[in-house]
Every structure is written in C-alpha cells, then in structure tokens.
C-alpha cells in the first residue's frame, strides 16, 4: 500500500521579502508562515510525517512555538538552492521512506494550502504512474518585456499554467530526477520532465499563493483569517 510524506524546503533567506530574516518565520494570523504551511498536512490522515528542511545555520527554529504539529520532523540539511534543499532532504529521509512512497514537496512560503486542494491532489494522483503538481491556469494576458521594461511580445497563454506546490512524486523517481537535473531547477516537476516524463496538472486556484513580496503578506493573512 502507498504511503505519503510531506517535505517542506524551508532554508530560503527571503531576499525578495527583505524582512531582515527568513520569511518563513514571519508572523501570520498569530503563527509563523512555516507553521501554517505544515499545518495543512496535519489534518490530512494520509500523510504520515511532515519533514521540514532548515538551513544548517538556522537559529530561529527554537524561538517559535510548533504546538499542534504532531507529525513534524526537523532536518538541518538545507542547501544553496531550493532544489538542493529538497534533494538533501530526500537523501536524509531515505532510511525511513521507501522508493515507491509518495513525497509531497511543499514550499514553506505557501501557508494557505486548503484541505480541499490537498485532497484534490492526493485523489487526482493516487493511481498516476508519474505524479504531478497543483497548478492554476493562467488568467492574465502575458507580456514578455525587453531589457528596458517595454513590451517585446504578447505570449499566447493557451495551455499555460502557473506551477504551485505541493508537487507529488515517488521518492525514488524524484531523487533520481533531481540528481540528474542539478541544482538550478525551480521546481520538482521540471526535474521529472527532464527525464522525459509528463507530470499531471491538478487544477488549483490563487488561494494557494506563494508569499514572495511584502504585499503578499496581507493577502495571506486575509485568506487565513477567512478560513478560521
């Protein structure tokens, strides 16, 4: 029978947030952003454990309250890029997680993942031979800029999706894909794509936003408040 694990890369520095420290520890609706990101997996019975991958020199973890997260396990093996952090995490859990177990990789910077979207991902991929990701169809007209900030071209948006997380793959396949792809890929799916496979898209929406810029905090806070 398939087993399911969550893995949260949380070793980023939050350069674009420019908050004076890693953004995963910023307060949102009374908890840290990281707490909320991990909380989504707490409520899903299928998930056995939630691994959080911190930077080796993280000095903030111990300063916060992680109550309510019984499935949590902490790893201190984050790398210089998101891909490196995920691969280090996959290697660290290889003794506990089997090659054909599912791993759901979820950004610590996505604190608003709902139970509905998580269930949709788990249900949509249960029998999938490759795995896949939550993603939202692009709604805006897309422009490519030139170096001076003027429009160079309008890019057709048909069949374009914005990739989100969780990204769900079997441990063995994902580790192999990331080893093959190197540390530059910005998500797990692109590493799997580079092996010639086609991950499935499971439709999500903008409620599962990534908190990247300071202005995203207010939206995330509102979404979390609405859910309570």
Ligand X SMILES: Nc1ccn([C@@H]2O[C@H](COP(=O)(O)OP(=O)(O)OP(=O)(O)O)[C@@H](O)[C@H]2O)c(=O)n1
Burial of 39 (0-12, 13-18, 19+ CB in 10 A): middle
Whether the bond into 166 is cis, omega within 30 of 0 = yes
Distance of CA 49 to the CA centre of its chain: 15
Q: Is 166 in the site for ligand X (CB under 6 A)?
A: no
CB of 195 to ligand X, least distance (A): 22
> How far from each other are the two terminal CA atoms of the chain, in whole angstroms?
34
| Segment lying near ligand X (by CB under 6 A), choices 105-113, 143-151, 156-164, 219-227 | 105-113
Is-contact 146 228, C-beta < 8 A? no
What does 186 interact with, of ligand LQXTBERG, ligand X, none (CB < 5 to 8 A by kind)? Answer: ligand LQXTBERG
Binding mask 54-93 for ligand X (x = CB under 6 A): ------------------------xxxxx--x--------
Of residues 185 through 214, those in contact with ligand LQXTBERG by CB under 6 A are 186-187, 210
Phi first, then psi: what are they for 85, rounded to 5°?
-60, -45
What does 24 interact with, of ligand LQXTBERG, ligand X, none (CB < 5 to 8 A by kind)? Answer: ligand X
Residue 2: count of CB within 10 angstroms of its CB: 12
Nearest residue to 85 via CA among 62, 60, 61, 105: 105
Q: Is 178 in the site for ligand LQXTBERG (CB under 6 A)?
A: no
What does 85 interact with, of ligand LQXTBERG, ligand X, none (CB < 5 to 8 A by kind)? Answer: ligand X
* Positions that interact with ligand X (CB under 6 A): 9-17, 23-24, 53, 78-82, 85, 107-109, 210, 212
């Amino acid at each position: 029978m398939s087993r399911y694990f969550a893995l949260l890369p949380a070793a980023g520095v939050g350069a674009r947030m420019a908050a004076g420290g890693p953004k995963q520890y910023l307060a949102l609706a009374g908890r840290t952003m990281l707490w909320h990101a991990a909380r989504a997996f707490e409520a899903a019975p299928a998930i056995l454990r939630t691994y959080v991958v911190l930077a080796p020199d993280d000095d903030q973890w111990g300063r916060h309250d992680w109550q309510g997260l019984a499935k949590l396990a902490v790893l201190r093996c984050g790398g210089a890029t998101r891909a490196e952090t995920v691969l280090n995490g996959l290697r660290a859990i290889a003794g506990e997680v089997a090659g054909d177990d599912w791993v759901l990789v979820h950004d610590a910077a996505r604190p608003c993942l709902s139970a509905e979207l998580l269930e949709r991902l788990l249900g949509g991929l249960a029998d999938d031979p490759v795995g896949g990701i939550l993603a939202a169809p692009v709604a805006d007209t897309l422009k490519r800029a030139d170096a001076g900030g003027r429009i160079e071209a309008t890019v057709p948006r048909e069949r374009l999706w914005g990739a989100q997380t969780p990204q769900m793959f079997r441990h063995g396949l994902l580790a192999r894909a990331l080893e093959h792809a190197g540390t530059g890929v910005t998500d797990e799916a692109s590493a799997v794509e580079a092996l010639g496979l086609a991950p499935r898209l499971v439709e999500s929406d903008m409620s599962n936003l990534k908190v990247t810029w300071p202005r995203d905090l207010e939206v995330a806070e509102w979404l979390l408040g609405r859910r309570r």
